[in-house]
Amino acid sequence: MSESGLPDRLRRDGHAVFKNSLHANGWLEKGELVRDPVRLDGLARAQAASIQTHWPTADLIVGASQCGAVLAAFVARHLALPVAFVNLQDGQMTFHRMNVPASPQRVVLVDDLISTGTDARLMVAEMRRAGHTVVGLSVWTVRQTALLPEVPLLTLWPHPYQTFSASACPQCAAGEAVRWEQVRE
C-alpha cells in the first residue's frame, strides 16, 4: 500500500498506450479490486463514509452499468440508499429499467476511476436534464488530464501516473518500448 492509500497491486508501471491513443507512464488495473468482493467492499465503505461526511443529504447513488454498477451498489449498501444504474452509449444516457428514479433526487455519481471525464460529463448533464441535482462525484482516483464536470469531487487517492498525448510522450521521445497496449483504465 502506498503512502496515499493506493493498493500497490493495482499499479502497472511502464509505457502504456490507451485505447483512446493517449500515452502514460503507467496505469491502474482496477480488476485487481473489482474481482475481490472483500477488498472492493473496503473501498466502497471508504467512499460511503466520505459521501456521508460531505453530502449527507444525498438520496440516490448512481453508477454506470459498464463499469461502476457493482461499486455503486456496494457504496449504496453502506449508506442504506437506493441505487440506480445508467447505460452510456453513443453519447446517450438511459437509466437501466430496474430503477428509473422519479425526479428530483439528490444524486451522487460513483465510479472507480476517471481517465478522460467524458462519461462523467455526460452523466452529470443527463442527470440535470432529467431533473436531478448532482451533489457530487465520488471516485477512487482521477487522471490529471481528465476534463471533469463542474460538480464537487471526492477521491480516495491521487492518481500516480501522468498522461500525455503521443506527440508529448517522454517515453516515446526516449525510445522506450510500449509495455502496455490498448489499455482501458
Complete domains list, the chain, with CATH = 8-183 (3.40.50.2020)
Helical (H) or strand (E) element with 28: strand 23-28
Per-residue pLDDT band for 78 (boundaries 50, 70, 90) equals very high
Do residues 102 and 130 touch, judged by C-beta distance below 8 A?
no
Q: Minimum mean pLDDT among 21-25, 28-32, 62-66, 98-102: which range?
A: 98-102
Question: Could you tell me the pTM of the whole model?
Answer: 0.90
The arithmetic mean of pLDDT across residues 57-73, rounded, is 90
Mapped onto helix, strand or coil, the DSSP state of residue 94 is: strand
Q: Which residue has the higher pLDDT, 5 or 79?
A: 79
Do residues 23 and 166 touch, judged by C-beta distance below 8 A?
yes
Length of the chain measured in residues: 185
The arithmetic mean of pLDDT across residues 9-19, rounded, is 95
Average pLDDT, the chain: 91
Cell readout for 174 is 526516449
Q: How far apart are the first and last CA of the chain?
A: 19
Give the separation between CA 53 and CA 116, rounded to whole angstroms. 27
DSSP 8-state secondary structure symbol assigned to residue 66 = T
Cell readout for 120 is 462523467
